[in-house]
Structure 1
Amino acid sequence: MTAGADRAGELRDRPVALPVRSSEVAFRGHVWDVRNERFVLDGQEITRHFVDHTGAVAVLVVDEAERVLLINQYRHPVRLRDWELPAGLLDVPGEDPLASAKRELEEEADLAAADWWVLQDLLTSPGGSDEGIRVFLARGPSPVETDYVREHEEADIEVRWVALDEAVEAVRRGDIANATTVSALLAAAVSRAAGWRDLRPADAPWPTRSAGPRATGHPGHVPDEHDRGD
């Protein structure tokens, strides 16, 4: 039975360990690289380029009035100021994803939160990137002071509290298109309808099928002499 064949059983993503013939950095970028890999699928050797991503975290904050925190900033590749969640790369070697999420919330929204859960784990574009992003749901927000200085696109971030239902309606209208934000808002609406009982603990293991933090190593990743020392 081939790796792509249909199988009856539980509806979930399944890890597949294929022979990787070579793996090298084809282009080194400012934020992330493009990797060139040759692997074997069904006896055929295939070459693919993909974004070699550090992994990321995002935070959906919900307050006592069932409002969610959204931020608005400029994103040059799409030439938009889009509505997003506070988020950031897992680019500190060995840092716990929850610690990263707490830091990003402080830096981008000047907030801390009392209670944390895992809302969802996403693969943002599995055909072209190995990025895995963990979305946390945080409650009990409170303001904090930080000496972090926002620069570049972050310098003029707009922060807004929006009723969850209003945010979901904006998704339905097509007015919010950021993939992580769309997915998190819809997941939060479903979780709220279930009384928030389906949330996972904040320290739940990162699924092996996700890229996860670079420090843990990507499934099938073959380091080469061009890899960073992180």
Structure 2
Amino acid sequence: MTDPLDGALADVVAPRPAVRRDDVAYSGRIIDVVRDDVDLGDAGTVLREYVDHPGAVAVVALDDDGRVALVNQYRHPVRSVLWEIPAGLLDVDGEDARLAAARELAEEADLRAGRWDVLADFLTSPGISNEALRVFLARDLSPVPEAERHERTDEEAGMELRWAPLDEVVAGVLDGSLHNPSTAVGALAAFAARAGGWTALRPADAPWAYRRGTLPR
């Protein structure tokens, strides 16, 4: 039998059977905690607890001057106000990821985009969560008309929009000034993609193996 890890450097969906599952160890407004007894073959059966998460999208909105749109938001678990690229949950069943990203860009940054590409897909913390996040690159930007702008509430009520050169955002990631994972992955991916003449970009509807609902349970 061929080893699925042979060949190209790529992650492989290779589920081990869950011989017992507790889907309701904890049920919350956004996340659930799941307990699985996982059969690892010769290594035996192990208990694994993890967060069942709907997934999310994030947007590197890049203007014609090479600047990135950032918003600041209070994140209570880390007791900090973070500069972030616009992002949001995939909490509408079956919603197209690009449309969700366009909604978040409009709601958080009052922006629309004429061109969409996929920059990167990543798993935020695969040891304890199944959260998958897709980062889009949005270009050909224009403002949302005043009359159509979203009314922000809760932590979003005080959001500020700041434009920063992509190189400055990358420098902030590397020197430890910026910590949001979507911002870090998005900025570094955009920096690398730009250096390669944008040839590494994928179409906005590129397959996404780790989006919730696609993995075997």
TM-score normalized by structure 1?
0.88
Shift of 1:47: 1.1
CA RMSD in angstroms comes to 1.6
Cα distance in 1 for residues equivalent to 2:185 and 2:72: 17
Q: Is the 8 A contact 1:18 1:220 kept in 2?
A: no
Alignment of 1:1-230 (within 5 A): 7-23=5-21, 24-43=23-42, 44-145=44-145, 146-206=148-208, 208=209, 210=210, 212=211, 214=212, 217-221=213-217
User: Any stretches of 5+ residues in structure 2 without a counterpart?
Assistant: none
Secondary structure of 1:102's aligned partner: helix
Cα distance in 2 for residues equivalent to 1:129 and 1:17: 15
Shift of 1:7: 4.8
Cα distance in 1 for residues equivalent to 2:19 and 2:149: 47
Aligned structure 1 segments of 4 or more residues deviating by more than 3 angstroms: 5-8
Closer/same/farther in 2, CA of residues 31 and 114 from structure 1, 3 Å limit: same
Shift of 1:9: 2.2
Shift of 1:38: 1.4
Shift of 1:220: 2.7
TM-score normalized by structure 2?
0.93
Greater RCO, 1 or 2 (C-alpha within 8 Å, sep 6+): 1
Shift of 1:8: 4.1
Shift of 1:139: 0.3
Shift of 1:42: 2.0
Deviations 1:173-212 (A, max 9, x none): 1000111111110111111111111100011111x2x1x1
- Partner AA of 1:13 in structure 2: D
Q: Is the 8 A contact 2:5 2:12 kept in 1?
A: no
Corresponding position of 1:227: none
Cα distance in 2 for residues equivalent to 1:218 and 1:46: 24
Q: Is the 8 A contact 1:20 1:220 kept in 2?
A: no
- Partner AA of 1:220 in structure 2: P
Q: Is the 8 A contact 1:19 1:40 kept in 2?
A: yes
Q: How many residues align?
A: 212
Secondary structure of 1:126's aligned partner: coil
Q: Is the 8 A contact 1:38 1:48 kept in 2?
A: yes
User: Any stretches of 5+ residues in structure 1 without a counterpart?
Assistant: 222-230
Deviations 1:37-59 (A, max 9, x none): 11100241111110100011000
Deviations 1:36-92 (A, max 9, x none): 111100241111110100011000011100111111110000000011111111001
- Partner AA of 2:124 in structure 1: T
